[in-house]
Structure 1
Amino acid sequence: MKVHSLHLYPVKSLAGIQVSHFEMDDFGPKNDRRWMIIDEDRNFVTQRSLPQLARVKTDLSESLVSISIPGEGDFTLQHTNQELRVLVWRDWVLAYSGEAAASLALSRFCGKELRFVYMPNSSFRRVDAERVSEYRRVGFADGFPFLITNTASLEELNGRLEEPVEMRRFRPNIVVEGAAAWHEDRWQKLKVGGQSFAIVKPCSRCVLTTVNPDTGSKDPGLQPLRALSGFRRTPEGVIFGQNAIHEFPGIIHVGDSVTVIESE
């Protein structure tokens, strides 16, 4: 097995970036989901309620994040020193408010008041303690630093769909090729290149997977979520992919070997 592709998401729920390698720091993939969008109640906003966010492109140069908003132009995200508490799922997290220009442009694009916020190094959001006993942190990702998926599982799923979908629908960080379909369900520990990962939770999927990443519109038939619901429903939810944490900081590359160290 080997790494098929790697992906970063500088802003939670905006378009991702496919990269040849990425560095891992204490948060997970460096610069991954350190930015997020909130509404006027300081609650996080995603493509679940605003699917058009998929059309907002992101770019990353060093640690500077830039975005391109249709009809509004390009902006480099910069944070102010204004601190505020923001809500992501059940966690109230310390964040810095983003500068106004990009937030105002996104608000116009989406037709509601929105704001970009940034998670500084001084903020600590803990990975789910029920799944990970170590005191580990995560950025604004839903719950864990990494999502790992398998190309063969997508191929098997696409065989059940009238219209095939791309892996982008599932927003992974690490895509593995060379494994049998759904073999990832049994993984417990992996080595990717020289880096070790613990698989900590199957990834339950939601309506976000029904958003076309090119058009920013939801599939009227709710595919591929409806198809997955027919054969991938478990006590953990409708599953595609595995959440993971890394053991040490380091770098991984496309093409790195992937070895299962422990499995069920």
Structure 2
Amino acid sequence: MHLSALYRYPLKSARGESLQRAQLDALGLAGDRRWMVVDAPRGRFLSQRQLPQMARLQARWQGSDLVLDAPGMSELTVAMPAVDAPLREVSVWDDSLSVPDAGEAAANWLSEWLGRPCRLVQVPEQRARQVDTEYAQPGDKVGFADGFPFLLIGQGSLDDLCARVGRPLEMERFRPNLVVTGSEPYAEDGWKRIRIGSVEFRVAKPCSRCAIPTLDPLTGERSPDHEPIATLKTYRKGEGGVFFGQNLIADGVGELAVGMPVEVLE
């Protein structure tokens, strides 16, 4: 088995970046989901669930800056907020936290393109959220991802799903960080600990899926037949939702690169 793809999502719910290698830090892949769009003035996170057009929003992590681009808009580079930047109260699901606001230029740009008042915020490591201790250890942290630092999907699992649906499906629909090739379909369901290169990971829990995989990852258009969620419901439904992929937590930091071997430790 080997790591066959790496994805980073600098801005929560915007288009991802395919990488050949990436550094890991205390919150996951360096630069992954450290920025987020929130509604103004409530500070509630916005995603493709409410705004499917966010699939067309490109966000690149460039050093410490975020570069935004979208159809009909001029590219905007947003600097990392200063250490004394104003803090904004925001919420991600049931978590509330105070994080730096990225300023008026970013807020105006995003508000214009999304057609609603919003703000851009960034999460420094010291203000990150504790991962749910039902599945994690005290001190395990996550940025603006829904709940966990990493999402892993086996390529064999996607291949099996495509065969059941009857057409090809892009892996990007499921927004994984890590894709593993060489395992049987859904083998990842039985993993407890794995090692990729020199980095060990705990497999925390299966990933329950929302409607985002029914959106075309390039256009944001919804599948009229509600695929692939409709098919997943026929054989991957359990208590708490429909499951596809596994959430992971890294024990330590290091570097990942496409092609690295993947070893199941437990």
Give the TM-score range, shorter chain.
over 0.9
- Tell me which residue corresponds to 1:51: 52
Tell me what 1:34 maps to: 34
SS in 2 for 1:109: helix
Report the equivalent of 1:180: 184
Give ranges in structure 2 of 5+ residues lacking alignment: none
CA distance in 2 between counterparts of 1:125 and 1:49 reads 23
Q: For residues 79-119 of structure 1, what are the alpha-carbon distances to aligned partners after superposition, in whole Å with 9 as ceiling and x for unaligned? A: 36011110000011111111222221221222111111111
Q: How does 1:88-103 map to 2 (within 5 A)?
A: 88-103=92-107
**3-state SS of paired residue (1:72):** coil
User: What's the secondary structure of 2:265's corresponding residue?
Assistant: strand
| Number of the residue aligned with 1:13 | 13
Which has the larger displacement, 86-95 or 158-167? 158-167
Whole-angstrom CA distance in 2 between matches of 1:220 and 1:256: 38
Select between 83-92 and 154-163 the one with higher mean Cα deviation: 154-163
Shift of 1:161: 1.6
Letter in 1 for 2:135: R
Q: Alignment RMSD, CA only?
A: 1.1
Structure 1 residue 73, shift from structure 2 partner: 1.6
Partner of 2:248: 244
1:202 matched to which residue of 2?
206
Could you give the per-residue CA deviations for residues 129-157 of structure 1, whole angstroms, max 9, x where no partner exists? 11113321100000000000110110100
Q: 1:77, CA displacement in angstroms?
A: 2.0
Separation (CA, whole Å) in 1 of partners of 2:226 and 2:45:
23
- Alpha-carbon distance between aligned partners in 2 of 1:236 and 1:24, rounded to the nearest angstrom: 30
Which letter maps to 2:133? A
Match in the other structure for 1:228: 232
Are residues 1:163 and 2:164 paired?
A: no
Tell me, in whole angstroms, the C-alpha distance in 2 between the residues paired with 1:206 and 1:195.
29
Matched, 1:190 2:188: no
The residue type equivalent to 1:68 in the other structure is: D
CA distance in 1, matches of 2:58, 2:228: 23
Please, which moves more after superposition, 119-128 or 39-48?
119-128
> Over residues 197-219 of structure 1, what are the superposed CA-to-partner deviations in whole Å (9 max), with x where a residue is unaligned?
00001000010111111111111
Does the aligned pair in 2 maintain the 1:69–1:105 contact within 8 Å? Answer: no
Alpha-carbon separation, structure 2, partners of 1:238 and 1:25:
30
Preserved CA contact (<8 Å) 1:6 1:18: yes
Cα separation, 2, equivalents of 1:217 and 1:102: 25
Q: After superposing the two structures, state which structure 1 stretch, 116-125 or 203-212, moved more.
A: 116-125
Q: Which whole-Å CA distance do the structure 2 matches of 1:212 and 1:29 have between them? A: 24
Please give the per-residue CA displacement for 1:153-188, whole angstroms capped at 9, x wherever unaligned.
101000122432100000001100000001111010
Aligned residue number for residue 76 of structure 1 = 77
2:45 is matched by which residue type in structure 1? F
Match of 1:240, SS state, is strand
**For residue 73 of structure 2, what is the amino acid of its counterpart?**
E
Single out whichever of 214-223 and 165-174 deviates more from structure 2: 214-223
Q: Aligned-pair distance for 1:124?
A: 3.1
Amino acid at match of 1:156: D
Asked whether the equivalents of residues 26 and 125 of structure 2 are also in contact (C-alpha less than 8 Å), the reply is no
Identical-pair percentage: 38
Aligned to 1:253: 257
Within 1, Cα distance between the matches of 2:259 and 2:13?
Answer: 26
Give the Å deviation of 1:234.
Answer: 1.3
User: Which residue number corresponds to residue 65 of structure 2?
Assistant: 64
Q: Residue 3 of structure 2 aligns with which residue?
A: 3
Tell which deviates more after alignment, 113-122 or 89-98.
113-122
TM-score normalised by structure 1 residue count? 0.96
How many residues end up aligned between the 2 structures?
A: 262
User: Aligned equivalents of 1:133 and 1:27: distance in 2?
Assistant: 14
Whether the 8 Å CA contact 2:35–2:121 is kept in 1: the answer is yes
Contact 2:130–2:138 (Cα < 8 Å) also in 1: no
The residue number in structure 1 matching 2:218 is 214
Amino acid at match of 1:138: V
Structure 1 gap segments, 5+ residues each? none
